[in-house]
Structure 1
Amino acid sequence: MTAVALGLDFGTESVRALLADADGNERGTAEANYEHGQIVRSLPGPDRPLPPRFALQDPDDWLAAAAVAVRAALTEADLDPSEVVGVGVDFTSCTMLPTTNDGTPLCKLDRFADQPHAWPKLWKHHGAVAQTAHMNRIAAERDEAFLIRYGGIIGLEWLQPKMLEAIEDAPEIAAAAEVWLEGGDWFVWRLVGGEADTLPRSTCQAGYKALWSKEEGYPSDDYFAAVHPDLAEAVRTKLPGRKLAPGEVAGRLTEERAAALGLPAGIAVSAAVIDAHAAVPGVGAAAPGTLVMVLGTSSCHMLNATEEQFVPGLAGVVEGGILPGLFGYETGQAAVGDAFDWLKRLVGHDSFDSMSADAMRLPPGADGVRCLDWLNGCRTPLMDGSLRGAFTGLSLNAGPGHLYRALLEASACGLRWIVDLHRENGVPIERLIATGGLPHHNPELVRIYADVLGEPIDVHPARQAPALGAAILGMVAAGRFDTVAETIEAMAEPVPVEARIAPNAEAAALYQTVYQDYRRLAETFGPTSPAGIN
């Protein structure tokens, strides 16, 4: 009987369940939408309007959708559930929530159901602008050493700024919270059970989104006390648990969760991993020097290297943060698929087809129309969610195709800036792999990326690389191979030669000017920050 592992890939709108065997064959897959999706306008039930920049979710949706997806995947696979030996979980991050000591989300207590800060804050929740600025100001004034691991800036979307937002804006919620944790850690905790002081916390999520390092732990109590005394207390007393790397055994599937999912109780469950980071094993990128670009609603770029270098504006460098024995680097772009969808709605198109056709008939540079793609802030290198985008060079002749092409080119220029930053700071990038939904649904984007970078890009055939990566980590936790590298080699599909997108030399030359224009726009609209914009 061939061993099978389950990967659960929790995205912004839905969860995907993928079953893969030890040879890397996809046996079954299914997706289930969250009933409430992204909660951005008003809370369910009480119908309380939300403040601007809020983005929440319902934790019951995660449990219910996972059960639907897993059972559907099992049916498609037509296999005996007893063949499933391990479970891996990837999750959006930093999606976080407050709970009681038994793991009950505060939003599920009647007295807090109408309080926005009691609900899970989705990764794209941008309500903590003032708190993030305050934390960065205090850290800079104190010359905190931990900043260098994050390019000089604490991110708006991270754990402690969201905690501080509740402390300042909803003190009754902050006081009632006994545990603060990531959604991925909460879901794994639900799978394996146990007390709060032993809950499994992912070193991936803690390292990239909660200022934690293997050597130093969290930043000092003195720093957090200087930010806010209640934040210092919360970090000391409300972040319990064990730190575990992705692939390490978080525990065994409980009878209750096994019954809900239709799986055997007692199988191994891996510690959680950030959704984008799961794509690295999913595309087989076990070696250093490969930039894995997960292109979707937003974009995350992961890179492994043999040495630790400090790169301005990166989202974090964590030892063993992606794969053991290597330093994992994370960067990202805050609006990609989201930005394309926004433009489609803005110009009143039902699909991308006609808009894309018009855009691709235009020459590189979109007839002089330029775009700054900060429609949801700038993640790398400025780490500033308050920044806003822009279009310039518009005339009465400009149409939706011009706007769309300029937006695609701006996204490519943002990626080139990220690649340049790595190389300028001694972090080699030797290969680029694109994965996620966009490379398959929007091939024009990858072609423009290749032309703007002047380098080939491999489009991995896996359409669900994070889900496969999660399954690989589930197989690692099950112990069916001796090493992580062996598991990846056995289960991840290589990129076929025909999936390589080569740059067009003529277009690449023309894009030099477009890229310089993009950098000038960034200098104009990007405020001075610790990361700098040079």
Structure 2
Amino acid sequence: MKRSQPLALGLDFGTESVRALLVDLRGREHGSAVASYRHGQITETLPGTGTRLPADFALQDPDDWLRSSGQAVRKALRQAGRANVISIGVDFTSCTMLPTLRNGTPLCQLAQFAGAKYAWPKLWKHHGAKGQTERINQLARRRKEKWLDRYGGIIGLEWFFPKVLETLDEAPDVYDAADVWLEAGDWYVWQLVGGDAQCLPRSTCQAGYKAMWNRVDGYPSSAFFKALHPKLAGVVREKMPGRLLSPGQAAGGLTPVLARRLGLPSGIPVSAAIIDAHAGVPGAGVAEPGTLVMVLGTSNCHMLNARAELPVPGVAGVVEGGILPDLFGYETGQAAVGDAFDWLRRTVGERSFADLTQRARALPPGAEGVLCMDWMNGCRTPLMDGSLRGAFTGLTLGCGPHHLYRALLEASAFGLRWIVELLQDSGVPVRRFVATGGLPHRNPLLVQIYADVLGKTIIVHPSKQGPALGAAILGVLAAGPKSSGFSSVAAAIRAMAGADGGAPASKPVSVQPDRSAHQVYNGLYTGYRQLAELLRTAQR
């Protein structure tokens, strides 16, 4: 019997669900399925216990990741028919993290910790560690820690070590019981490939962008951690075992146990994990430096590869090889985008975005005097302050929901422009803009406003699942050239997601800026920056 063509599996773990994507080595889709997490975002009570959660908590159930990925993969396999899956790539939200035993069992699955909120995985958007984040930043500045410059002089509320320190402060019994602290993406890949904790695969992407790791210096020193809290002195040595691998490196082969869950043969090569948004870079067909890839969704994450490492105020991280080999990957972001849009829709009582978008499109630039500050979930880049709050100004009795909505879209665009200017002013080239993710396809008005505010053309990549495609590409790299035929990272990206590929079938959409609108927005952008400074000062 003729062997079916090789397929790559990309698993894209989001905030509410996981997507399984099967593509061939030309990027053509053969199967795609989404499975929602049974518990979604755990923000009110712990499952099965009724334990109430504080307002800033956002947790998840690790069983949901295993259960939902099995459902999604099996459904995608049914669509693909006879499938010869040669590789698996995984992207995951970050920093979503958890404490486990040495055998990988999450602490929340132990009877004595089922009702302990700090034993559960903290979702990326968990904001319970505000005080711990400030302590880390203050200590790093006081000690003049050189790693702080790689993160624009400030680390973020959603990062790894603030969440570890939060647990140590608030639930020392949970901290003591944890043999291993790790990112959820690393935990999932560990479940796929098995093995002892000492050899568990940790991604340099997650470590570099969310845990202050550097290829030359490693993590912050034990002296720094000891000064932060005496019990943290040995946290890296004692509670963070494993080997650091770059995305696209092989973490191991699929174990028989997980093979049965996914409906696949065992032994399939599995790549080290990558942050979901960062997977959007290869998934958007981008292999060259100087292109800002904007993964637009619940939040926005912007990635840019460059040939040199330069300090940028408020950047979320600069990691050598963090996105693609031999390049310095810069990450910036906006904390609330799709989330903020949906919050507004619900707040004004709209069932869908259709009417809201139509009426907002009819308004002129500037929303007839309404200006918004889009800090509905704090400010990521450039201020790295999760405590900041948003605002609307210029409201009158004549304003409707569509004024608020357009002002919010424009605020998101102004925030993006601020980020681009920071990069350019710091000497980092930004020559081209590519948008990917689901939001650019669902909300063309947003992309047009982005182009108008920037005064630049934006390319919308035709794939609606760029991170999943990027994860699949990285899985193929882990399988090696003998299985894939690709001699380089760039060749794989071009073949599976770029101009050389046979898919996606539709072509990229080029969104051109409206020059007259751009001139109007130049003045409004100045007002946005002034409002930002006013609110930042008032909220100190």
Question: Residue type of the partner of 1:166?
Answer: T
Distance 2:223 2:450 in 1: 44
For residue 234 of structure 2, give the secondary structure of its aligned residue in structure 1.
helix
Distance 1:235 1:248 in 2: 22
- Cα-to-partner distance string for 1:133-190 (whole Å, 9 max, x where unaligned): 1111111111111100000001100000000000000111001010000000000000
Residue of structure 2 equivalent to 1:10: 13
After the TM superposition, which residues 7-156 of structure 1 pair with which residues of structure 2 at under 5 Å, given as runs?
7-80=10-83, 83-156=84-157
- Cα-to-partner distance string for 1:211-245 (whole Å, 9 max, x where unaligned): 00000000111111111112222233101100000
For residue 526 of structure 1, give the secondary structure of its aligned residue in structure 2.
helix
Matched, 1:487 2:492: yes
After the TM superposition, which residues 264-303 of structure 1 pair with which residues of structure 2 at under 5 Å, given as runs?
264-303=265-304
For residue 462 of structure 1, give the secondary structure of its aligned residue in structure 2.
coil
After the TM superposition, which residues 494-513 of structure 1 pair with which residues of structure 2 at under 5 Å, given as runs?
494=499, 499-513=509-523
Correspondence for 1:517 among 498, 505, 527: 527
Residue of structure 2 equivalent to 1:446: 447
Q: Is the 8 A contact 1:163 1:231 kept in 2?
A: no
Distance 1:391 1:497 in 2: 38
For residue 513 of structure 1, give the secondary structure of its aligned residue in structure 2.
helix
**What is the CA-CA distance between 1:513 and the residue it aligns to?**
1.2
Q: Is the 8 A contact 1:458 1:499 kept in 2?
A: yes
Distance 1:277 1:251 in 2: 21
Residue of structure 2 equivalent to 1:532: none
Residue of structure 2 equivalent to 1:461: 462
**What is the CA-CA distance between 1:106 and the residue it aligns to?**
0.2
- Cα-to-partner distance string for 1:321-351 (whole Å, 9 max, x where unaligned): 0000100000000000000000001111111
Residue of structure 1 equivalent to 2:165: 164
**What is the CA-CA distance between 1:527 and the residue it aligns to?**
4.7
**What is the CA-CA distance between 1:23 and the residue it aligns to?**
1.5
Measured on the aligned residues, the alpha-carbon RMSD in Å equals: 1.3
Q: Is the 8 A contact 1:247 1:473 kept in 2?
A: yes
- Cα-to-partner distance string for 1:185-214 (whole Å, 9 max, x where unaligned): 000000000001100000000000000000
Question: Residue type of the partner of 1:486?
Answer: A
Segment of structure 1 superposing worse, 372-381 or 23-32? 23-32
Q: Is the 8 A contact 2:35 2:71 kept in 1?
A: yes
Distance 1:388 1:503 in 2: 30
Distance 1:236 1:378 in 2: 33
**What is the CA-CA distance between 1:498 and the residue it aligns to?**
6.2
Residue of structure 1 equivalent to 2:355: 354
**What is the CA-CA distance between 1:487 and the residue it aligns to?**
1.1
Segment of structure 1 superposing worse, 494-503 or 512-521? 494-503
Residue of structure 1 equivalent to 2:321: 320
Distance 1:326 1:205 in 2: 16
The change in CA–CA distance for 1:178 and 1:527 in structure 2 (over 3 A counts) is farther
Q: Is the 8 A contact 2:462 2:508 kept in 1?
A: no
Matched, 1:421 2:422: yes
**What is the CA-CA distance between 1:497 and the residue it aligns to?**
6.6
Question: Residue type of the partner of 1:12?
Answer: T
Residue of structure 2 equivalent to 1:401: 402
**What is the CA-CA distance between 1:47 and the residue it aligns to?**
1.2
Matched, 1:339 2:340: yes
Segment of structure 1 superposing worse, 59-68 or 481-490? 481-490
**What is the CA-CA distance between 1:528 and the residue it aligns to?**
11
Distance 2:159 2:246 in 1: 19
Matched, 1:180 2:190: no
Name stretches of at least 5 consecutive residues in structure 1 with no aligned partner: 530-534
**What is the CA-CA distance between 1:34 and the residue it aligns to?**
0.2
For residue 136 of structure 2, give the secondary structure of its aligned residue in structure 1.
helix
Q: Is the 8 A contact 2:460 2:508 kept in 1?
A: no
Residue of structure 2 equivalent to 1:382: 383
Distance 2:203 2:223 in 1: 25
After the TM superposition, which residues 189-338 of structure 1 pair with which residues of structure 2 at under 5 Å, given as runs?
189-338=190-339
Distance 1:236 1:514 in 2: 51
Distance 2:507 2:259 in 1: 41
Distance 2:449 2:76 in 1: 35
For residue 65 of structure 1, give the secondary structure of its aligned residue in structure 2.
helix
**What is the CA-CA distance between 1:493 and the residue it aligns to?**
3.7
Distance 1:189 1:244 in 2: 12
Q: Is the 8 A contact 1:156 1:383 kept in 2?
A: yes
Distance 1:94 1:498 in 2: 31
Residue of structure 1 equivalent to 2:536: 526
**What is the CA-CA distance between 1:79 and the residue it aligns to?**
2.1
Q: Is the 8 A contact 1:35 1:61 kept in 2?
A: yes
Distance 2:126 2:268 in 1: 34
**What is the CA-CA distance between 1:2 and the residue it aligns to?**
2.1
Distance 1:254 1:152 in 2: 42
